[in-house]
Homo-oligomer: A and B are copies of this chain.
Amino acid sequence: MKLYNFELSGNCYKVRLLCALLGVPVEITDMDLPGGEHQRSPHIERNAFTQIPVLEDNGVTLRDSQAILIYIARKWGGDTWLPADAVSLATVAQWLMVAENEIARGPGDARLHDKFGRAVDIDVAREKAHRLLAIMDAHLARNEWLALGHPTIADIACMPYIAISHEGGVTLERYPAVQAWINRIKKLPNFIPMPGM
């Protein structure tokens, strides 16, 4: 497998993290995002949405970090990281959608503003972040892992931008259950961190 990567992207990190946890080798190709390499050929032929990560494996090209987690979990993770029965699959997917939507528009956007100078309504992003964190904290006070009784790609998809939310001016002080959940993930065998974590 070949991963088109940017070290400071939480979306790329979650792919690297799942590979590390599963012990799956992945060839990393770093992209020059500040230089706009992702917006030019040949990357736009890999992903018309001009984003990273992109994964190539056996002639298949996949975009979107959540979809890539699904692929790796189904191919290499047995039935642990993404069980295939209807209830488990949908329960995990609920949280993949939170990663794609609420986390991206909350802590993700706040960090894009503070760290990369992106044009974002920072007050709205931080307000969304805290609304989300309150929901997650209540959920994690009653559940050790987000989706099922054990770690799944739901946890891998949601953790990165929460764990580095301080880079967008969002503190986790008021969310002890979220902090405890991040620490549980950090203790998983073969865990690797990302810059800022």
Contact = CB atoms under 8 A, between A and B. Distances in A.
A22 interface: no
Contact of A62 (B62, B84, B90): B90
Scoring A60, A67, A104 by chain B CB atoms within 10 A of each residue's CB, the highest score goes to: A67
B87 A60 contact: yes
Interface stretch (A31-39, A92-100, A162-170, A178-186): A92-100
B90 A70 contact: yes
A75 B67 contact: no
A48 interface: yes
A113 to B, nearest CB: 15
**Identical chains in the assembly:** 2
Contacts of A101: 100-101, 104
A82 to B, nearest CB: 9
B93 A67 contact: yes
A9 B139 CA distance: 26
A34 to B, nearest CB: 21
6 contacts: A48-B135, A49-B102, A63-B94, A67-B97, A71-B90, A74-B89
Given A74-B84, A101-B101, 9 more contacts: A48-B138, A66-B93, A67-B90, A67-B94, A70-B89, A70-B93, A71-B86, A74-B86, A75-B86
